[in-house]
Amino acid sequence: MPKIDFLNVSKQFGRIVAVKDLNFTIEDGEYLSFLGPSGCGKTTTLRLLSGLILPTKGKILWDGKPIQDLPPDLRDIGYVFQQFAIFPHMNLYENVAYPLEVRGFSTIDVEETVEEYLKLVGLENKAHLFPRDVGAADLQRTGVARVLARGAKVLLLDEPYGALDFKVREEFQDEMRRIVKELKLTAIHVTHDQSEAMAISDRVAIMKKGSMIQLASPTELLFNPSQIFSAHFVGEANFLEGIVSEKNHEYILVETVDGWNFKVTRSFESFLIGDRVIMGFRKGFAKVLTNNQEKVLNIIKGDVLSDRYLGEKRRTKIHLEFGRSIEIMQLPHEPVLAKGDAITIEILPENILLFRYPARGLEDALEVT
Ligand code: ATP
């Protein structure tokens, strides 16, 4: 429901900078996820918004009003954790009713509210059951009903599906998104699981070492990442170093350090001949060529290191010259390759992601911690 702004928000714990200079807006009714490796500052950001901790500097605005110094109970926020504190001696109805009773709601109001929210999360027929009689997903639903019944307008979800089985998790993701959109809530979700973030969110904030690297829609992150780290952390990509060797109005040519030449037709305008660049391509966007003799541009040749199934995809590792290797993903029905087979792959110009060579090198840009 509300729109939230973070303005130059930083949080330090002693000498540890947990988050630094966060500047972003969560739009009214938006489902936004924070995605990043362990320790990058995701939970700290949620706790700052909930009021459990206060920023070292900066402001947090709730529909334009500063809230950074308000205590948690004066913010209409519901916090959904991986493991809810569900009272074991109360049935599901009583668990949802309890905070309302504490707040002095009339019996009739408690009844109406609890029924409404138990129905919303699909627990209307399980209200009489005790926590020991239901599974982890229903406990989580009870927790969600409880924070919503209390009137939360913003939902903070911190790895909320961590305790759930894979299949149940997928259902729950759909369910949470439906609830958030139906009630027009604003939701902020923390996860280190990229597929979860991509499946559920309107936008995803990529975090690294306390900073926000990119905030964009899942499609934008996949097809147009602005940073090497986003391209690396969302989806899977290979990166090759090169130099811009030619430029005209329609494309540039990049020569990689291994001597392969690539035509690049996307987002090349700001690059100049001689610029040192990193060229990225998604592992699923490379095509294995069978009769390739005449092609000289946008190909890489190597030999197969391994070709194996991982889930429903085939992953083919390719050894290049100078000891480097890359990996591509193929559909399962493509011909299986043997170790040592010569292989040529093609990456179309429009599937190449181009980045400036990072000041501290590629390894540093890819580092997750
Ligand atoms: P995870 O996915 O592992 O939960 P995270 O991205 O949520 O990680 P945070 O929990 O926000 O990361 O932590 C960010 C940094 O701040 C880490 O270096 C962490 O050790 C540190 N930190 C967080 N809370 C405290 C605290 N109360 N005291 C000291 N350091 C803290």
In the block, residue with structure tokens 């000891």: 323
Tell me the domain boundaries of the chain.
4-228, 237-362
DSSP for 243-273?
EEEEE-SS-EEEEETTS-EEEE-SS-TT--T
- The CA 38 to ligand 1 mean position distance, Å, reads 8
Q: Tell which atom from ligand 1 comes closest to the C-alpha of 41.
A: 11
- Residue type at 55 in one-letter notation: P
In the block, residue with structure tokens 């889930």: 311
Q: Is residue 54 a contact partner of residue 67, using CB atoms and an 8 Å limit?
A: no
> Which whole-number Å values give the CA distances from 201 to 23, 188, 215, 238, in the listed order?
19, 9, 11, 25
- The CA 43 to ligand 1 mean position distance, Å, reads 7
What is the spatial distance between Cα 78 and Cα 285, in angstroms, rounded to a whole number? 41
Which residue's CA is the closest to the ligand 1 atom numbered 16? 18
Structure tokens at 160: 């909320």
Per-residue pLDDT of the chain (369 residues; tens, 9 = 90+): 789 999 999 999 999 999 999 999 999 999 999 999 999 999 999 999 999 999 999 999 999 999 988 988 888 898 887 777 789 999 999 999 998 999 888 999 999 999 999 999 999 999 999 999 998 889 989 999 999 998 889 999 988 777 678 788 888 888 889 999 999 999 999 998 888 899 999 999 999 999 999 999 999 999 999 999 999 999 889 999 999 999 999 999 999 998 999 999 988 899 999 999 999 999 999 999 877 567 889 999 999 999 998 877 889 999 987 778 999 998 888 888 899 999 999 999 999 999 999 999 888 898 877
Helix (H, G, I), strand (E, B) or coil at 282: strand
Q: 351 CB under 6 A from ligand 1?
A: no
For 248, residues 6+ apart whose C-beta sits below 8 A from its C-beta are none
- The CA 138 to ligand 1 mean position distance, Å, reads 29
Provide the pLDDT for residue 208: 94
What is the spatial distance between Cα 221 and Cα 79, in angstroms, rounded to a whole number? 27
Which residue's CA is the closest to the ligand 1 atom numbered 27? 13
Q: 369 CB under 6 A from ligand 1?
A: no
Q: Is residue 96 a contact partner of residue 129, using CB atoms and an 8 Å limit?
A: no
For 292, residues 6+ apart whose C-beta sits below 8 A from its C-beta are 299, 344, 346
- CA 10 from chain centre, in angstroms, equals 21
Choosing among 3.50.50.60, 3.40.190.10, 3.30.70.100, 3.40.50.300, the CATH entry for 4-228 is 3.40.50.300
CATH superfamily of 237-362: Nucleic acid-binding proteins (2.40.50.140)
- The CA 70 to ligand 1 mean position distance, Å, reads 22
What is the spatial distance between Cα 362 and Cα 239, in angstroms, rounded to a whole number? 9
**Beta bridge pairs of residue 263:** 253
Selection from 244, 223, 214, 220 nearest residue 350 by Cα: 223
Tell me how crowded residue 181 is: count the other CB atoms within 10 A of its CB. 13
- Residue type at 119 in one-letter notation: K
Q: Is residue 264 a contact partner of residue 354, using CB atoms and an 8 Å limit?
A: yes
Q: 41 CB under 6 A from ligand 1?
A: yes
- The CA 40 to ligand 1 mean position distance, Å, reads 7
For 158, residues 6+ apart whose C-beta sits below 8 A from its C-beta are 42, 43, 46, 79, 80, 81, 82, 190
Provide the pLDDT for residue 332: 82
